[in-house]
A and B are shown apart, each in its own frame.
Chain A
Amino acid sequence: MKIYDGKYILIGLIIFIVLATFPVWFTHGRTVAPPDLKLDTPVIGKMAVKQCVLPKEEMITGHMKLLNDWRTQVVRNNERMYVASDGKTYEMSLQNECMKCHSNKSEFCDRCHTYAGLEKGVDPYCWNCHIAPKENK
């Protein structure tokens, strides 16, 4: 079989494959430490049972859905008090309830969002309007 201009085509193909797979082999073998989330805020420290609204695993994967559902309930339906599966009642408020415990936004929310490569102020844009608690730096 004869390929016209086979030399150039093959060289071009090799360059293309090397470039296209660059992200794969360039990061191969490199490990990035997972984000280190701090739960050592004063309010959490005082809690007898350290339990969030939902179990930890569900919060990790589903906190965005929970927050969105809360938003809908509060803003659209004027429904403000949430009963968790363990029977505890929470005010559905990011700014006034979530951040009461997680008063360390830069060591909690931001760590994962930065790790996941989310652009600050764009995704998630909660904090463009909602006021983060003051942190002692």
Chain B
Amino acid sequence: METTRRTFLKLGGVCTLGLGTLPIVNALGKTDPEPKFVANTRELTARRWAMAIDLKACWERGDPKCRECTDACHTTHNVPDIGNRQHEVKWIWSESYGNVFWSAANPYMPLDLDRKPVMVLCNHCAEAPCVRVCPTQATFKRADGITVIDYHRCIGCRFCMAACPYGARSFNFFEPRPYIKTELNPRFPTRDAGVVEKCNFCEERLSMGQIPACVEACNKEARAMYFGDLEDPGSEVRRVLAQRYSIRRRPELGTGPGVFYLI
């Protein structure tokens, strides 16, 4: 068959028009109605959640046996107590000052300062290395700055544990339930063997309008923990950061930690 330029262009035009019908076909072919959601009115919201820990207040009250924040957190989140350092699982725990701020330590500072306990937890970094290395995107940043783990997606490869400069992540080597000595919190799940876990800044409590469990527990006795929106100049965290000198763990790495320590 002989094709003239004229018929060829006509056919081309018809074909282009045909492509334009795709959205219409898609709209007609759709059967499932879109699920509807409403805003959670109880939720506490922020642009970036952050925490400040007042070391002086913590030491005045806590040194050396206070475990209020750890206990509150670990019972709230059903964190197992494995009992040995090799396999332990922890969300918020105490390390010595010399180990936490080793770059700020020197041989001539008071000996007891070196051994003072500092509460450490996930820093919910602005540029979280764990999020960059996670091959399944199980660890991700929420819009409010919280670094969370989707335990459904975690394959237990532990890249994130290698990437985290703060050692904030723990691996479940065993089925954790037999090691949970306290009463299970029925409102929060446990984890399964083979996933990595860490502090979630109590995102489940924030969604119910409550502040994190550690801050709440600490505020009952001491007043060593502050929690709030880092982007809101009027928030509790910003207020206390504006008044006092504060340091962060290894800021030189560029991870932008969201946990501040007040000196």
| Nearest residue, chain A, Cβ from B191 | A129
Q: With A75-B148, A75-B150, A131-B184 in contact, is A80–B190 under 8 Å at CB?
A: no
A34-65: which residues lie under 8 A (CB-CB) from chain B? Answer: none
Q: How far is the CA of A133 from the CA of B186 in the complex (A)?
A: 8
B174 within 8 A of A: no
B189 within 8 A of A: yes
- When the two chains form their complex, are residues A83 and B186 in contact, meaning their CB atoms are under 8 A apart? no
- When the two chains form their complex, are residues A129 and B190 in contact, meaning their CB atoms are under 8 A apart? yes
B245 within 8 A of A: no
- When the two chains form their complex, are residues B143 and A78 in contact, meaning their CB atoms are under 8 A apart? yes
A84-112: which residues lie under 8 A (CB-CB) from chain B? Answer: 85, 89, 95-96
- When the two chains form their complex, are residues B187 and A95 in contact, meaning their CB atoms are under 8 A apart? yes
Q: Separation in Å of the A80 CB from the closest CB of chain B?
A: 5
A58-81: which residues lie under 8 A (CB-CB) from chain B? Answer: 69, 71, 73, 75-76, 78-81
Q: With A129-B190, A131-B190 in contact, is A80–B150 under 8 Å at CB?
A: no
- When the two chains form their complex, are residues B36 and A82 in contact, meaning their CB atoms are under 8 A apart? yes
B207 within 8 A of A: yes
Among listed B1-9, B37-45, B116-124, B231-239, interface-contacting one:
B37-45
B140 within 8 A of A: yes
A137 within 8 A of B: no
| Nearest residue, chain B, Cβ from A94 | B189
| Nearest residue, chain B, Cβ from A83 | B36
| Nearest residue, chain B, Cβ from A66 | B35
Q: With A69-B35, A73-B37 in contact, is A131–B207 under 8 Å at CB?
A: no
Residues of B within 8 A of A128 (CB): 175, 192
Q: Could you mark each residue 17-31 of chain A with 1 if its beta carbon is under 8 Å from any beta carbon of chain B, else 0?
A: 000000000000000
Q: With A82-B35, A82-B37 in contact, is A96–B187 under 8 Å at CB?
A: yes
- When the two chains form their complex, are residues B143 and A83 in contact, meaning their CB atoms are under 8 A apart? no
- When the two chains form their complex, are residues B192 and A125 in contact, meaning their CB atoms are under 8 A apart? yes
A2 within 8 A of B: no
Q: With A71-B152, A75-B148, A78-B143 in contact, is A95–B38 under 8 Å at CB?
A: no
Q: With A83-B36, A129-B192 in contact, is A75–B152 under 8 Å at CB?
A: yes
Residues of A within 8 A of B203 (CB): 78
The interface residues of chain A, by DSSP majority, are classed as mixed
Q: Separation in Å of the A59 CB from the closest CB of chain B?
A: 14
B87 within 8 A of A: no
Cross-chain contact of B189 among A89, A131, A134 (Cβ < 8 A): A131
Residues of B within 8 A of A82 (CB): 35-37
Q: How far is the CA of A125 from the CA of B207 in the complex (A)?
A: 25
Q: Could you mark each residue 138-163 of chain B with 1 if its beta carbon is under 8 Å from any beta carbon of chain A, else 0?
A: 00101110001011100000000000
- When the two chains form their complex, are residues A95 and B189 in contact, meaning their CB atoms are under 8 A apart? yes
Q: Separation in Å of the B209 CB from the closest CB of chain A?
A: 12
Q: Separation in Å of the A66 CB from the closest CB of chain B?
A: 9
- When the two chains form their complex, are residues A129 and B150 in contact, meaning their CB atoms are under 8 A apart? no
Residues of B within 8 A of A96 (CB): 187
Q: How far is the CA of A85 from the CA of B34 in the complex (A)?
A: 10
- When the two chains form their complex, are residues A129 and B189 in contact, meaning their CB atoms are under 8 A apart? yes
Which residues of B come within 8 Å of A, CB atoms? 33, 35-40, 43, 78, 140, 142-144, 148, 150-152, 175, 184, 186-192, 203, 207
If A78-B203, A89-B38, A131-B188 are given as contacts, then 18 extra A-B residue pairs at C-beta distance below 8 Å, sorted by A number, are: A69-B35, A71-B152, A75-B148, A75-B150, A76-B140, A78-B142, A80-B37, A80-B40, A83-B36, A83-B38, A85-B33, A95-B186, A95-B188, A125-B192, A128-B175, A128-B192, A130-B189, A131-B184
Shortest Cβ-Cβ A-B pairs, 10 listed: A83-B36, A129-B189, A128-B192, A81-B38, A80-B40, A130-B189, A79-B37, A75-B150, A129-B192, A81-B40
